[in-house]
Amino acid sequence: MSPTVAVVNATPASAQPAADGLAEGFPEAAPWHLMDDRLVTEADAAGGLTPALARRMLALVDYAVRGGADAVLLSCSMYGPAAALARRLHEVPVTGSDEAVFAEVAGRRPGAVLVLGSLDSAAADSARRLKEVADGVEVRAITAQGAAAAAAARDWPDLTDVLARAAAPALDGVELVLLGQYSISPVHAELADRLGLPVLSPPLAAARALREALA
C-alpha cells in the first residue's frame, strides 16, 4: 500500500504546491490534505506563531496521526516550531515545511542566501529560523509585494515576474535563493532561469526527506 502523507495546510494556496512536491519527490505517497484556512491570516495578524495557534496545529497533527497517517507535513513556514513539538508526541515522521530545505542550505554553506516571501511576517520568520541552523551564512529576507495575489490566482508568469523584480536589488553576492512559502514555490524552476541562480523549493525538499524517513 502507498504510504499516507497527511499535509496540514494553513492556507488553500499551499495545498497544490505540497501535492506537486510529493508527486516529484515522493511519487509513491498518497497525499491526505487537512485544512485550517485561518492559521496563516491569524498568525500574520499576530506577528507570528502564538501558543494558541500552535495548539490548533498540534490538534490537526494529532487528528492526522489518529486517522492513520504514516507521516505528516506542515505546509506553512510559520508553523515549523509546531513540528518539533509534534515529534515529541508522535512516533510517525513529522516535518515542518522548510526543515529539509534549511538543512540543504546549511549543507551547501553559501556565502549569502536570499529568502523570498509573500508576507512580511513569513519572510522574517523563515530568515530568522534559517540563521539558527545555517551558521555563518548571511541570510537576507525580501517580501515580494503582489506575490500572494499572483499565487492565489495561480498566475505563474505574474508570480515569476513579481518575485524576480523583488529579488533583483538584493542579489549582490547571493549564491542561493530560497522560496519561503509553499504558495510561491511552483515557479522555482522559472525563477532560477530568470535569476541565473539556484532556487530551492521547500515542498520538494520536504517530500524527499519524508521519503527517506519512511524508507
- Domains by residue range for the chain, with CATH: 4-97+204-214 (3.40.50.1860), 99-201 (3.40.50.1860)
Mean pLDDT calculated for residue range 118-125: 85
Q: Chain-wide mean pLDDT for the chain?
A: 94
Q: Is pLDDT larger for residue 12 or for residue 156?
A: 156
Taking alpha carbons only, the member of 70, 80, 6, 1 closest to residue 39 is 80
Residue 125 has pLDDT above 90, yes or no: no
Mean pLDDT calculated for residue range 79-93: 93
What single letter denotes the amino acid at residue 150?
A
Q: How confident is the model at residue 12 (pLDDT cuts 50, 70, 90)?
A: confident
Cα torsion for 120, 39, 159, 165, to the nearest 10°?
Answer: 10
* Calpha distance 146→142 (Å, rounded): 12
The torsion angles phi and psi of 160, rounded to 5 degrees, stand at: -60, -45
What's the pLDDT at 80?
Answer: 84
Residue partners of 95: CB distance under 8 A and separation at least 6: 71, 72, 73, 74, 83, 206, 209, 210, 213
Q: Is 109 helix (H, G, I), strand (E, B) or coil?
A: coil
Q: Is 149 helix (H, G, I), strand (E, B) or coil?
A: helix
Mean pLDDT calculated for residue range 191-212: 96
Whether the model clears a pTM of 0.75, i.e. scores above it, the answer is yes
Interval 32-71: pLDDT, tens:
999 999 998 898 888 888 999 999 999 999 999 999 999 9
Residue 13 has pLDDT above 90, yes or no: no
What's the pLDDT at 121?
Answer: 80
What's the pLDDT at 65?
Answer: 98
